[in-house]
Chain A
């Protein structure tokens, strides 16, 4: 134990949290618009598979990333179409997306390798860790924070941008209004459907990116069940973060940290069962949810977007 342990713990936490945070941010934006997308896991899997396959066949990690983002957006578009235009049940649509996405990703992973074989165990152009000179010399945090992948740095930049976008811009205002009270937004001339489509698709792109990170940066390879349930965790994280990007960072670090801690502890032979530790985030999330809902009923406050999961239909009386 000691400095090295802590440093590697931090490094691992940040690495693990990257994909988690990306997926969570994607879902936050989707839910803020009022759409519940339970297909995160499926989109992430597809992102991972597409990203790796593209990189394998085209020889570029960046192209792989691009492919993953596009695929994520397309899948989310299906969900958006079903939920918004077709006014279908969002829960079921999301689950369909998960099933479909996982199925197709697994299929691709087993058939897009050399000679139509599996991609498992193959190598492809990936994002190698990019050690930032100077910054990485900072004691303790330096190597951990600044010895990460390029994608993680992108995320560092993205976070403040996303926060600013949500709270300090006109489009962000419209987003918040649509999820909170679509009637108000509609009355002021904001197109509810268009906003919802946009952010669902955008969210899908972020989720695809999250998946690509796993296969192109974290693992640098493909394996079955590469996402390991992170998509579902992201959905939990959204609540934990009370739909706020900055709190999502905290939540991702916490959830990721617990997972990383479990792993690190296991390797040092300590007896804390990692599974029990893993339970904590979910229990915490339930508690947070109860608190939020209870506060909502008492004082009408920061909580879920009021219109979440409900199709918006303008009063048809024309």
Chain B
């Protein structure tokens, strides 16, 4: 297990033969070091996988390469020549392009029109006939079937991705970067994509694809670079590594327990999900039959790389998203499909992942924010009237109880630090709920002190009998706080384990697509295994 960049045979070859070389690339955002002296090599005619968890820095690193971000330090070489890319257009002119997770397509325009949008040196009058021919050519050659005259809103997501790829090929891209390409594809489409990549590579093009799925890495890539916490951990040829090793590299250390967690006998089942199914914003399935039960006084953590259905899970449970199938139960009562207001009345608290965009109103005072769930009932309001004084008193009480640092309850919420904003959200949610908490990425973006405080609060609630669903991208956090951890992958639970009985490698494998039963080789399906505890 190597923790530093290993010199491989590839690295010793002369510079020019590499399609891409990144040396010592560093990128900082306010308050965070996203990429730390990363080195990356991409040979010509190869497929390189970029593997890592959330926050590892994969997209950021590729954005630096593709001209979207400017690195603070380090150099980038394309075919041996140093480049300073100031925009994506700069990059594509040099033959390098990226297909993002969120497609950049104009829906009312046709496929052909999107492909030639912004084309340098194009004639004023659209030569659609020529475009069609060339698109057809590229389609055939690379197995990217599209109808040039179809409008984007008419075609499937998989086809849209092909259009994005064609956009790059049309402009003669030699290096293509794909960000989580199979996230939106059916298995059949993924197989087609694999063929496309093979064809491209056989012609000398080079591909980097970002992923967190081990299966993909083993199947599609020639080599894999593993990122963790902004640093390149290792680069290995596929033939010389295993899924287990990659999982270990990806997740890293063995989890340490630091916070005092009282052993606790959980009570009755408070919050239950049964075969939950739902779709994401694009109409694709986000949850494919998720089941779990959380008891009073228990924290169930949900692990997994962002984008596997976590957000949708939280939204279904809190009424913000309709369920396409399955049930949600609160103390045995079926609450599936009820409105957010109903769920609030049922006593389900929601600490949203998008703190500023959803969890608070930045321009309103702290007191208004604190009252957002409780304002409908006495003593904060009587009938149609809202009692401002009662609201302020209520706010003062919460500020004290939860130790929120703010000049006054009337300060605008946006002026608080991130940590205090989150405390404010927690204060509101915990006080308004009835023992069921859905917490989504609760410590994201917080400094050390605030993170500790938030974690402490969640544990306290658990000790007092709350049922907590904790969705987090921080495996450490999940293992410290949760009594049990379920891993979500592509909308399904791969397995539920107790943190103290599992290890990093196991979790890493589950996060990357392996079922617990397969990992442990005992053939018992994950849910059944969990029930026997």
Q: Within 8 Å by CB, do A and B touch in the complex?
A: yes
Query: When the two chains form the complex, which single residue of A189, A302, A306, A318 contacts B120, counting CB atoms closer than 8 Å?
Result: A189
The complex places the Cα of A254 from the Cα of B88 at a distance, in Å, of 47
Interface size on B, residues (CB 8 A): 28
Indicate if the CB atoms of B108 and A180 lie closer than 8 Å. yes
CB of A194 within 8 Å of the partner chain: no
Indicate if the CB atoms of B118 and A181 lie closer than 8 Å. no
Among listed A23-31, A62-70, A152-160, A165-173, interface-contacting one? A165-173
Indicate if the CB atoms of A180 and B117 lie closer than 8 Å. no
> Inside 8 A of A190's CB, which chain B residues have their CB?
117-118
Decide yes or no: A301 and B29 within 8 Å by CB, A168-B125, A169-B124, A187-B88 being known contacts: no
Interface string of B20-33 (1 = CB under 8 A from A): 00000000010000
Indicate if the CB atoms of B69 and A174 lie closer than 8 Å. no
Indicate if the CB atoms of B120 and A173 lie closer than 8 Å. no
Residues of B103-145 at the interface with A, using a CB-CB cut-off of 8 Å, are 104-109, 113-114, 116-120, 122-126, 128
A10 to chain B, nearest CB (A): 34
> Inside 8 A of A187's CB, which chain B residues have their CB?
88, 104
> Inside 8 A of B116's CB, which chain A residues have their CB?
170, 173
> Inside 8 A of B123's CB, which chain A residues have their CB?
170
CB of B498 within 8 Å of the partner chain: no
Indicate if the CB atoms of B117 and A174 lie closer than 8 Å. yes
Indicate if the CB atoms of B107 and A185 lie closer than 8 Å. no
The complex places the Cα of A117 from the Cα of B167 at a distance, in Å, of 62
> Inside 8 A of B125's CB, which chain A residues have their CB?
168-170
Contact-residue size bin, chain A (C-beta under 8 Å from the other chain): 20 to 34
A147 to chain B, nearest CB (A): 34
The complex places the Cα of A140 from the Cα of B405 at a distance, in Å, of 82
> Inside 8 A of A168's CB, which chain B residues have their CB?
125-126, 128
A179 to chain B, nearest CB (A): 9
Indicate if the CB atoms of B107 and A306 lie closer than 8 Å. yes
Indicate if the CB atoms of A185 and B117 lie closer than 8 Å. yes
Decide yes or no: A184 and B153 within 8 Å by CB, A169-B126, A177-B109, A318-B70 being known contacts: no
> Inside 8 A of B29's CB, which chain A residues have their CB?
317
A175 to chain B, nearest CB (A): 11
CB of B37 within 8 Å of the partner chain: no
> Inside 8 A of A183's CB, which chain B residues have their CB?
104
Q: Nearest A residue to B70 by beta-carbon distance?
A: A318
The complex places the Cα of A176 from the Cα of B114 at a distance, in Å, of 11
Query: When the two chains form the complex, which single residue of B114, B120, B128 contacts A184, counting CB atoms closer than 8 Å?
Result: B114
Q: Nearest A residue to B117 by beta-carbon distance?
A: A188
Query: When the two chains form the complex, which single residue of B109, B120, B153 contacts A176, counting CB atoms closer than 8 Å?
Result: B109
CB of A275 within 8 Å of the partner chain: no
Indicate if the CB atoms of A184 and B108 lie closer than 8 Å. no
CB of B329 within 8 Å of the partner chain: no
CB of A299 within 8 Å of the partner chain: yes
The complex places the Cα of A318 from the Cα of B123 at a distance, in Å, of 32
CB of B89 within 8 Å of the partner chain: yes
Indicate if the CB atoms of B106 and A185 lie closer than 8 Å. yes
B131 to chain A, nearest CB (A): 11
Indicate if the CB atoms of B69 and A317 lie closer than 8 Å. yes
Residues of B292-336 at the interface with A, using a CB-CB cut-off of 8 Å, are none
Query: When the two chains form the complex, which single residue of A180, A299, A302 contacts B106, counting CB atoms closer than 8 Å?
Result: A180
> Inside 8 A of B122's CB, which chain A residues have their CB?
170
B193 to chain A, nearest CB (A): 21
> Inside 8 A of A169's CB, which chain B residues have their CB?
124-126
Indicate if the CB atoms of B117 and A173 lie closer than 8 Å. yes
Indicate if the CB atoms of A318 and B69 lie closer than 8 Å. yes
> Inside 8 A of A300's CB, which chain B residues have their CB?
107, 153
A269 to chain B, nearest CB (A): 49
CB of B101 within 8 Å of the partner chain: no
Indicate if the CB atoms of A180 and B153 lie closer than 8 Å. no
> Inside 8 A of A177's CB, which chain B residues have their CB?
106, 109, 113-114, 117
CB of B242 within 8 Å of the partner chain: no
Residues of A within 8 A of B (CB): 168-174, 176-177, 180-181, 183-185, 187-190, 299-303, 306, 317-318
Q: Please list 5 pairs of residues, one from A and one from B, whose beta carbons are closer than 8 Å in the complex, sorted by A's number.
A: A170-B125, A176-B106, A180-B108, A184-B104, A303-B108
Given A168-B125, A170-B125, A189-B87, 6 more pairs with CB closer than 8 A: A170-B123, A173-B113, A180-B109, A187-B104, A189-B118, A190-B118
